Homo-oligomer: A and B are copies of this chain.
Amino acid sequence: MATGRSHRPATRSRGIPEATVARLPLYLRALTALSERSVPTVSSEELAAAAGVNSAKLRKDFSYLGSYGTRGVGYDVEYLVYQISRELGLTQDWPVVIVGIGNLGAALANYGGFASRGFRVAALLDADAGLAGRLVAGLPVRHIDELESIVADNQVSIGVIATPAGAAQEVTDRLVGAGVTSILNFAPTVLTVPDGVDVRKVDLSIELQILAFHEQRKAGEGENGRQEPDGDVPAVMPA
């Protein structure tokens, strides 16, 4: 996690807060929409509303990138689109492989948001030999045995794991061994990776559980309805 100390105090002292990085894609999306409507400039207030954050936060975020706005006016839409894209590394091409072509893998392969932002699906891989050759999103599914050569040949540095939980660690090891240094994990498992490899995880059921927690709260709010006898313990007790 701790992204080894940086260097190069180029334009501004490097070191954009992680929380800011996580919001840049949000701003980029909102700006892209404005750009498509040929809106020339936008204020922090307007853009913040479109991105679903508050304007002070947005201005603070942009201040880490540099002084890209004009006081009394706002931000130049095209210019910001470019600067944020560059900061995120989207001005270059990122070949990715998707491993595990079930429903989820297929959904990811078909997802338009990837291609439009510099992510190119270099290959779809699956352990099921029966799937090999089948076209998904216009690409042929290839057998997992080709993983190493595909990663090497295409200089893939980002892998997406959409396999069942049981296969995820092994796939990870192979990806890392082949040279992948960033992994987006959809399998509900904790992955172990060497230093220098980034993992982000998306867990569908965790999100629902968090919602359930808050939902439960709401139910208990007004009506005092939730039954919780307070002495409510199961048969098993701690030693």
Interface of A toward B, CB cutoff 8 Å: 3-4, 6-8, 10-11, 21-22, 24-26, 28-30, 41, 50-52, 68-70, 73, 75-76, 78-79, 82, 86-90, 92, 94, 96, 102-104, 106-108, 110-111, 113-114, 117-119, 157-158, 160, 181-184, 188, 190, 196, 198, 200, 202-218, 220-221, 224, 228, 230, 232-234, 236-239
A172 to chain B, nearest CB (A): 13
A96 to chain B, nearest CB (A): 7
A3 near B217 (CB under 8 angstroms)? yes
Which residues does chain B contribute within 8 Å of A209, judged by CB atoms?
A: 24-25, 28, 88, 90, 117
A41 to chain B, nearest CB (A): 7
A73 near B208 (CB under 8 angstroms)? no
Q: Given contacts A29-B188, A108-B204, A214-B182, is CB(A82)–CB(B236) below 8 Å?
A: yes
Which residues does chain B contribute within 8 Å of A204, judged by CB atoms?
A: 108, 111, 113-114, 202
CB closest residue in chain B, given A162:
B107
A218 near B196 (CB under 8 angstroms)? yes
A-B pairs, top 8 by smallest CB distance, nearest first, are A89-B216, A103-B107, A113-B205, A52-B190, A104-B107, A76-B238, A182-B211, A25-B206
Which residues does chain B contribute within 8 Å of A198, judged by CB atoms?
A: 211, 214-215
Which residues does chain B contribute within 8 Å of A211, judged by CB atoms?
A: 158, 182-184, 198, 200
The docked-state distance in angstroms from the alpha carbon of A204 to that of B109 is 11
B25 near A87 (CB under 8 angstroms)? no
